[in-house]
């Protein structure tokens, strides 16, 4: 078989993405049809920058879901090498392809003769699984600490701000090099950090619900009991892992184990992001607590946590949503940085940073192996930034 | 002002102490020390040999004591083995009497790198000069470019020019150094498909930097920062352009050119100044990535080497230097903000 021309490659890539196109068309037509009833999300579709950003983000979300849940789109196995395909140019036919195999390496092969296209697709699943979740956790930590720091102020604020500035003064890469090493996993420090950091979502949700239903003890008790059992079980399964130092939780009750490499990456990304979120939340709280409705709540005799979580936080949501989008992009960049330095994730992992790192060694001769994941990462982060920009413009119009 | 400066300096020193202790603690955890022992001795040492090596090289004391030694507030360790005295402060030609009691960074002794087998202070100075050169050119390219883009975009908010420049800014903030570096190398330096205008490595730029071998690394770092600074400048410019005094000037019939240059520009540049200063920690990250990507042997490259081999003294030296750079730029940004903006007075 002959090499494919660039037109044929593009056409075949386009066809491989068919499930994504269908999902995107469905999402967009439904959203545009009902956009007047969807609040801020609906207004996003009036903003051209926001629509482009949303499209790019959803493209990668659907790609990740298709490949991660159903195994669609990817043409080859992202980890296995094929003979004679080392550094193959884009569109090369697969040598010795069986009847069930996809007959081409659409975007070429890398230095270990693996399919660049499939690795890029598989990499999206790694990123989409870690980045939004890690950002969410950083927000939980940042909000839980930032609200009291801004609202109460005083000594608490001084101590917490000092700690936040301490972490922020660290060059991120130095912190990664210190935390994300096999030796560090051996000492168990990431596991202990996980114990502390993963506690924050539970504290946050417990306080949130307690503050809301404080006057209805029965409803509060039932809700809290259910929440604590579910979250507590997840929490204990998450932090306890037979391969690390934290392994107290019985195997039979352990729902899942996060591989130690992933856990340390997750923890350090949360750790790096949380202080910035803390500073933003603290600043917003200090601004909002001077408003009249906060004074009204204080006069009504509401508790401090109710005021923080149900008066201040909802009114700070605009800037926080915008920052959330930006921060997912930044987290993606951080994950790529970790991969680029070969930290944390296993070397054969298809995530974009690691792939760029492997591809850069032969960059001047075979650029495709590094360019493809680089463009993928660029488009996702660009999408998130455009989405944030669109959201900011639309929320300012209110 | 003096009180403010003193307070800030005190906080700065406390931060630097805490951070260096964290780095010290993390690099001195047992598995890391074992790695050091095997790197220094030989890689097939048994556990007892490792323990003995650590004991004879002063690694068995509590961490805070050893941190004090490193800092120079506690006397260095000594060890008597086979009638031969060795110790932290005892050099090759020294005896117990001639050797100083304290030798930490307060005495100017930064220790010895195990990877490069040289004094840390020497390595840091040499590498710092290289990185300084890189940073200088980055600033020289980034600051005017970012301010120009920001001012042009912000002076007529919502215009076509504004849209185009804002999109460019967003593009650059979405492109981390390892992505833009890869793309730039592929386009401008690749020997198979590229334009072959520049070189894909900057190793030769260490002795003689020229446009061909130094432009790509500088551009790579500058691009990522440009977008952010430009967006801040744009926001600040757009705000100034709606201010009362600009409207007054406009009603008086001052030309648009003069409004921008004489009335708006100076006030619009206050916010970007702080942002540029606070960009330094980010630039340090960029430096590490770009120096690795372009094989330019500066401080970032040394950091990667030190961290990869758990070179404790070098790692501490580099982190102290980078932390001081970050804290000093924060201080300058605070002072500069007050200095540039007469409306803010110290509380």
Which chain A residues are within 8 Å of B193, Cβ to Cβ? Answer: 367
- Contact between B178 and A353 using a beta-carbon 8 Å cutoff: yes
CA dist B297 and B129 (Å) reads 10
Residue A229: pLDDT over 80 = yes
Q: Which residue in the set B15, B185, B193 is minimally distant from A166, CB to CB? A: B15
Give residue B82's pLDDT: 67
Give residue A146's pLDDT: 93
Give residue A275's pLDDT: 92
Which chain B residues are within 8 Å of A173, Cβ to Cβ? Answer: 284-285, 288-289, 300, 303
Residues B203-221: pLDDT tens digits? 777 777 777 788 888 999 9
The nearest CA of chain B is from the CA of A205 a distance in Å of: 31
Please state the rounded mean pLDDT for residues B274-285: 77
The nearest CA of chain A is from the CA of B276 a distance in Å of: 16
Give residue A148's pLDDT: 93
Give residue A380's pLDDT: 94
For residues A76 and B81, the model is more confident at A76
Which residues are within 8 A (CB) of B248 and not within 5 positions of it... i.e. 6 or more apart?
Answer: none
CA distances from A261 to A120, A135, A186, A243, A340 (A): 20, 18, 11, 11, 15
Confidence of residue B84 (pLDDT cuts 50, 70, 90): low
Residues A327-362: pLDDT tens digits? 999 999 999 999 888 887 887 888 898 888 888 888
Q: Which residue in the set A186, A364, A382 is minimally distant from B191, CB to CB? A: A364
Confidence of residue A385 (pLDDT cuts 50, 70, 90): very high
The enclosing H or E element of B30 equals helix B30-40
**A24–chain B Cβ distance below 8 A for any pair:** no
- Which of B19, B26, B36 best tests the A interface by mutation, with the highest count of A CBs <10 A? B26
Residues A293-321: pLDDT tens digits? 999 999 998 889 999 999 999 988 888 98
CA dist B188 and B330 (Å) reads 36
The nearest CA of chain A is from the CA of B285 a distance in Å of: 6
Give residue B261's pLDDT: 85
Give residue B347's pLDDT: 44
- Angle, CA of B23, B29 and B30, to the nearest 5°: 160
Q: Which domains does chain B have, with CATH numbers?
A: 2-107 (no CATH), 120-340 (1.10.3720.10)
Give the distance between the most distant pair of CA atoms in chain B.
91
**A163–chain B Cβ distance below 8 A for any pair:** no
Residue A33: pLDDT over 50 = yes
**A166–chain B Cβ distance below 8 A for any pair:** yes
- Sign of the CA dihedral running B317, B318, B322, B328: positive
Q: Which residue in the set B29, B179, B194 is minimally distant from A377, CB to CB? A: B179
Minimal-distance CA residue of chain B relative to A177: B307
Give residue A71's pLDDT: 81
Structure-token pair, residue A333: 């960049």
Structure-token pair, residue A365: 């001769």
Confidence of residue B328 (pLDDT cuts 50, 70, 90): confident
Q: Which residue in the set A166, A171, A363 is minimally distant from B200, CB to CB? A: A363
- Contact between A365 and B35 using a beta-carbon 8 Å cutoff: no
**A167–chain B Cβ distance below 8 A for any pair:** no
Q: Which is nearest to B240 in space by CA: B273, B268, B270?
A: B268
Residue A181: pLDDT over 50 = yes
Please state the rounded mean pLDDT for residues A118-143: 91
Residue B93: pLDDT over 70 = no
Please state the rounded mean pLDDT for residues B108-117: 80
Give residue B96's pLDDT: 66
CA dist A244 and A267 (Å) reads 14
Please state the rounded mean pLDDT for residues A166-173: 84
Residue A99: pLDDT over 50 = yes
Residues A257-272: pLDDT tens digits? 777 778 888 889 999 9
CA dist B324 and B318 (Å) reads 10
Each domain of chain A, given as residue ranges in start order, spans 6-123+374-395, 126-329
A255 and A182 in contact (C-beta within 8 Å)?
no
- Which of B33, B173, B174 best tests the A interface by mutation, with the highest count of A CBs <10 A? B174
Task: Report the mean per-residue pLDDT for chain A.
Answer: 86
Q: What percentage of chain A exceeds 90 in pLDDT?
A: 33
Residues B158-174: pLDDT tens digits? 888 988 998 899 889 88
Please state the rounded mean pLDDT for residues A94-117: 78
Give residue B343's pLDDT: 65
ipTM of the shown complex: 0.85
Residue A200: pLDDT over 60 = yes
**B288–chain A Cβ distance below 8 A for any pair:** yes
**A386–chain B Cβ distance below 8 A for any pair:** yes
Which chain A residues are within 8 Å of B14, Cβ to Cβ? Answer: 162
Q: Which residues pair with B301 in a beta bridge?
A: none
Structure-token pair, residue B274: 């702080």
Residue A115: pLDDT over 50 = yes
- Contact between A187 and B29 using a beta-carbon 8 Å cutoff: yes
**Calculated CA dihedral for residues A22, A24, A28, A34, nearest 10 degrees:** 80
Residues 72-131 of B with CB under 8 A from A: none
**A375–chain B Cβ distance below 8 A for any pair:** yes
For residues A103 and B301, the model is more confident at B301
Please state the rounded mean pLDDT for residues B42-46: 75
What is the DSSP annotation of B252-303?
A: HT--HHHIIIIIIHHHHTHHHHHHHHHTHHHHHHHHHHHHHHTT--SHHHHH
What ranges in B156-210 are assigned the alpha helix state H?
160-173, 177-188
**A257–chain B Cβ distance below 8 A for any pair:** no
- Which of A57, A162, A183, A336 best tests the B interface by mutation, with the highest count of B CBs <10 A? A183
Q: Which is nearest to B288 in space by CA: B306, B307, B301?
A: B301
- Which of A90, A123, A171 best tests the B interface by mutation, with the highest count of B CBs <10 A? A171
What is the DSSP annotation of A72-124?
A: -S--S-SS---TT-TTPPTTEEPTT--TTS-SEETT-B-TTS-BHHHHHHHHH
A264 and A185 in contact (C-beta within 8 Å)?
yes
Which chain A residues are within 8 Å of B173, Cβ to Cβ? Answer: 385
Cα B317 from chain centroid?
Answer: 13
Residues A230-257: pLDDT tens digits? 998 888 888 877 777 777 777 767 777 7
Residue B198: pLDDT over 60 = yes
Give residue A202's pLDDT: 92
Give residue B12's pLDDT: 85
């Amino acid at each position: 078989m002959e090499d494919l021309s660039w037109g044929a490659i593009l056409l075949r890539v386009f066809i491989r993405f068919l499930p994504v196109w269908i999902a995107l068309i469905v999402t967009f037509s439904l959203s545009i049809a009902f956009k007047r009833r969807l609040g801020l999300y609906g207004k996003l579709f009036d903003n051209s920058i926001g629509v482009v950003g949303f499209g790019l983000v959803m493209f990668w979300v659907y790609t990740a879901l298709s490949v991660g849940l159903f195994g669609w789109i990817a043409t080859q196995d992202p980890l296995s090498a094929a003979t004679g395909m080392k550094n193959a140019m884009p569109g090369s036919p697969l040598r010795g392809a069986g009847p069930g195999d996809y007959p081409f390496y659409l975007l070429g092969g890398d230095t270990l003769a693996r399919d660049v296209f499939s690795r890029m697709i598989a990499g999206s699943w790694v990123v989409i699984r870690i980045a939004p979740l890690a950002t969410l956790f950083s927000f939980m930590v940042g909000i839980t600490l930032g609200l009291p720091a801004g609202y109460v102020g005083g000594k608490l604020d001084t101590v917490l701000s000092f700690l936040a500035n301490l972490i922020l003064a660290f060059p991120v890469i130095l912190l990664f090099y210190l935390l994300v090493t096999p030796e560090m996993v051996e000492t168990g420090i990431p596991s202990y950090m996980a114990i502390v950091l993963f506690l924050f979502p539970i504290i946050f949700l417990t306080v949130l619900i307690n503050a809301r239903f404080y006057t209805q003890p029965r409803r509060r008790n039932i809700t809290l009991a259910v929440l604590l059992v579910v979250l507590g079980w997840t929490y204990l399964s998450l932090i306890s892992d037979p391969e690390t130092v934290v392994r107290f939780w019985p195997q039979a009750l352990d729902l899942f184990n996060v591989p130690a490499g992933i856990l340390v990456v997750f923890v350090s990304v949360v750790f790096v992001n949380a202080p910035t979120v803390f500073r933003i939340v603290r600043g917003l709280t200090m601004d909002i607590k001077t408003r009249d409705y906060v004074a009204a709540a204080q006069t009504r005799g509401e508790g401090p946590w109710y005021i923080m979580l149900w008066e201040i936080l909802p009114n700070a949501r605009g800037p926080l949503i915008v920052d959330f989008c930006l921060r997912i992009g930044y987290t993606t960049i951080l994950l790529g940085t970790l991969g680029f330095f070969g930290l944390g994730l296993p070397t054969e992992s298809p995530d974009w940073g690691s792939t760029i790192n492997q591809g850069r060694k032969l960059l001047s001769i075979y650029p495709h192996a590094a360019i493809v994941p680089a463009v993928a990462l660029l488009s996702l982060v660009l999408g998130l930034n455009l989405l944030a920009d669109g959201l900011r413009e639309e929320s300012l119009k209110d | 002002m003096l009180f403010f400066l003193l307070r800030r300096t005190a906080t700065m020193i406390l931060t630097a102490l805490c951070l260096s202790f964290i780095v010290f603690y993390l690099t001195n955890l047992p598995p890391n020390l074992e790695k050091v022992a095997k790197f220094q001795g030989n890689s097939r040492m048994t556990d007892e040999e490792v323990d003995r090596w650590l004991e004879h090289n002063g690694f068995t004391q509590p961490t805070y004591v050893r941190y004090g030694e490193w800092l120079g507030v506690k006397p260095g360790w000594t060890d008597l083995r086979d009638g031969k005295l060795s110790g932290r402060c005892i050099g090759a030609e020294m005896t117990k009497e001639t050797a100083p009691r304290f030798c930490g960074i307060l005495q100017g002794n930064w220790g010895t790198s195990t990877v490069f087998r040289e004094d840390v202070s020497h390595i840091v100075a040499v590498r710092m000069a290289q990185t300084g050169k890189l940073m200088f050119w980055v600033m020289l390219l980034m600051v005017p470019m970012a301010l120009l883009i920001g001012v042009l975009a912000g002076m007529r908010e919502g215009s076509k020019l504004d849209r185009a420049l804002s999109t460019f800014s967003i593009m650059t903030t979405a492109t981390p150094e390892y992505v833009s570096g890869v793309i730039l190398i592929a386009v401008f330096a690749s020997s198979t498909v590229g334009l072959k205008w520049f070189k894909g490595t900057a190793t030769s730029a260490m002795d003689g930097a020229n446009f061909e071998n130094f432009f790509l690394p500088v551009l790579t770092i500058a691009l990522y920062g440009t977008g952010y600074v430009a967006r801040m400048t744009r926001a600040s410019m757009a705000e100034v352009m709606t201010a009362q005094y600009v409207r007054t000037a406009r009603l008086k019939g001052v030309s648009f050119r003069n409004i921008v240059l004489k009335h708006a520009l100076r006030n619009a540049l206050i916010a970007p100044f702080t942002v540029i200063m606070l960009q330094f920690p980010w630039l340090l990250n960029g430096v590490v990535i770009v120096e690795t990507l372009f094989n330019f042997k500066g401080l970032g490259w040394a950091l990667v080497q030190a961290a990869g081999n758990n070179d404790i003294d070098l790692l501490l030296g580099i982190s102290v230097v980078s932390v001081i750079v970050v804290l000093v730029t924060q201080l300058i940004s605070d002072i500069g903000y007050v200095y540039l903006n007469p409306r803010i007075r110290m509380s």
